A and B are shown apart, each in its own frame.
Chain A
Amino acid sequence: MTIAPEHPSEGRTSAGSGTPARAGARRRIGSLEVVVVGLAGLLVAQRLSGGWTGPPWLQAWTTVFVAICVQALPFLLFGTLLSAAIAAFVPASFLQRALPRNPVLAVPVAGVAGVVLPGCECASVPVADRLIARGVAPAAALAFLLSSPAINPVVLAATAVAFRGHPEMVLARFLASLATAVAMGLLWARFGRPEWLRPRARREPPPGTGRLAVFRSTLEHDLLHAGGFLVIGGITAATLNVLVPRDVLKGAAGVPGVSVLVLALLAVVLAVCSEADAFVAASLSVFPPSARLAFMVVGPMVDTKLIALQAGTFGRAFAWRFSSATFLVAVVSSTLLGWWLL
């Protein structure tokens, strides 16, 4: 891959064999200097700050922000490891053969395949992105993106523990999540436009690159990229978390239609990891079961940190369309299944 056309002079300056010393001097103007100065500043600031933590609201904000980042990083690393492994070791032809060619068949298959990825939603975004880059139909990859954090065994087991004595809640969660994922995949196959997904013309590494090198560079890039967007999501979630008092919600608990919407919105705002959201849902016991089901169906598919991750990975045009449609489908499917099963 060459980027020379846009930056011919820089390319020549540094890559040309003529003036390596000057090239070195030029190079050090960039981010490396910033980081070195920043590190020095950090050491000084740490000495000076002396345990300063700010006013109570800022303390709570920082704690929630750090908590969201720290909690999500292992899952993000897992997802990017998997994504890098797919990029480096799984030939594109294998994935294309593994899925039916017809999207109407491929979408449910991909949705059910979500069972195999035992992670939370942060892990599924890089993986789905990689699947699309490797030639999987976007409709199928998106169904996988939505279903994998919601219906994998770890999440279902957590739900069973949180709602002990209510196996119908686990069944309802599984069915409502799968239905939403498949419906969104089919909607994308029918109405989705390729231009909504960010163009990825230069995703494939140049031929001849070693597999391990592809693995390492993909991992590094995906991790830094998704990590940056995770931070945006963490900032948003922490802000809403500190701003919106939980008491506000209580008034809505008694109204049947409204309670489902309120808990669905709460799931978007709180950005709780899908492996833990069942415990939060169980604690919201003033709300009717369908509303708590909606909380668990919406949470792994649409939330503030996920929207940030999707916007970073697939582009903003995609993220807002996809997230709002998913929200609606998830609310409808959990209302229907809640009415039927709970």
Chain B
Amino acid sequence: MVAAVRREVQAILLVLLGTALLRISLFSDAYLRYVRAGLRPYLVATGVALVLLGVVSAVAAVRAMSGAAAATGDPDGHADGPGHGQPGDHSDHDHHGHHDHHGHHGGPRIAWLLTLPVLAIVLITPPALGTYTAQRSESTATKPASADAAFPPLPTGDPLVMALGSFDARAVWDTSAALRGRRVKLTGFATPKKGGGWYLTRLTISCCAADALASKVEIRGPYASTEAPPQGSWVEVVGTWQPDGQTAQPDTIPALTATQLTRIPEPRNPYE
């Protein structure tokens, strides 16, 4: 039986959780592997709040403990019931509203589980989703919301730097074929294609990594086979769209004839 979480330990848990959040949001960019960039201020605020709450709670616990040791009662004027200082190994108390005598009786045992994300963040800091996820999902070329709204004209630039997802959407759904003949520069990682060759791949998240969707572009030309980058490595590819009259389906994978390929480090934000 797992011990109930005592008050001092609750405080430690809160501080640990807050520190883990701050570690990935304030002190590094690792949060970008899990959530959208826009969530950062909320993560920092949550981390700070958790640490503060933990510290306040620890101070209260220490004051209560020393108060009890001196037999003067709880300086808070509450929470100094006879249950003070149980080892917390009784299972019958874990969920009947222990909070109301937030003394030393022990918090919910379920709170131990909060150590799991802390451990995962501190020990592993899991990498961003990559080829494993991409190989197991279809390519998604999100159809523009309204069929009649035409794509705006492509900006100038040669090569034109594009997000992989918008390249896919253009290639599959743009009936004016504005991409024809344009040199574009795309960034993504290499995912092997069944039967040889590879896809330039990028994952898109709308909230967190749990909803990741893949966008893929089939790479043709000399870089398709002989000079293919290793699986999972990040590359910048310059090339031109190769229309081959595929019917427009959300899972159509457009092709690009690559003329230039550069290995790059993983971008700061691995998702689009």
Q: Which residues of A contact B (CB under 8 A)?
A: 1-4, 6-7, 10-15, 17, 20, 23-24, 26-27, 29-32, 34-35, 38-39, 42, 45-46, 49, 52-54, 56-57, 59-60, 62-71, 73-74, 77, 162-166, 198-206, 208-210, 213, 216-225, 227-229, 231-232, 234-235, 237-238, 241, 245-247, 250, 270-273, 275-277, 279-280, 282-283, 285-286, 312
Contact = CB atoms under 8 A, between A and B. Distances in A.
22 contacts: A1-B81, A2-B82, A4-B83, A6-B90, A7-B86, A10-B85, A20-B68, A23-B85, A30-B6, A30-B88, A32-B6, A46-B122, A74-B45, A77-B46, A164-B145, A202-B96, A206-B78, A210-B76, A216-B56, A221-B99, A224-B110, A283-B140
A10 B103 CA distance: 14
A188 B250 CA distance: 42
B69 A24 contact: yes
Chain A binding site: helix, strand, loop or mixed by DSSP? helix
A29 B82 contact: no
Interface string B251-262: 100000000000
Given A26-B87, A66-B117, A221-B107, A2 B81 contact: yes
B6 A31 contact: yes
B104 to A, nearest CB: 8
Interface string B121-137: 11110111101110011
A272 B78 contact: no
A161 B93 CA distance: 47
A236 to B, nearest CB: 11
A225 B39 CA distance: 23
Given A46-B122, A227-B111, A273 B207 contact: yes
Contacts of B84: 11, 14-15
A31 B4 contact: yes
Contacts of A204: 100
Interface in B62-87: 68-69, 71, 76-87
Interface in B1-52: 3-6, 8-10, 12-14, 17, 21, 24, 31, 33-35, 39, 42-43, 45-46, 49-50
A241 B207 CA distance: 15
B124 A62 contact: yes
B: contact size bracket: 35 or more
Interface of B: 3-6, 8-10, 12-14, 17, 21, 24, 31, 33-35, 39, 42-43, 45-46, 49-50, 53, 56-57, 60, 68-69, 71, 76-90, 92-93, 95-102, 104-117, 119-124, 126-129, 131-133, 136-138, 140, 142-143, 145-146, 149, 206-211, 213, 249-251
B127 to A, nearest CB: 6
Contact of B114 (A6, A31, A224): A224
B86 A59 contact: no
Contacts of A52: 124
A74 B115 CA distance: 17
Contacts of A60: 129, 132-133
A329 B129 CA distance: 35
A26 B88 CA distance: 11
B137 A59 contact: no
B100 A205 contact: yes
A202 B97 contact: yes
A67 B270 CA distance: 14
Contacts of B50: 77, 223
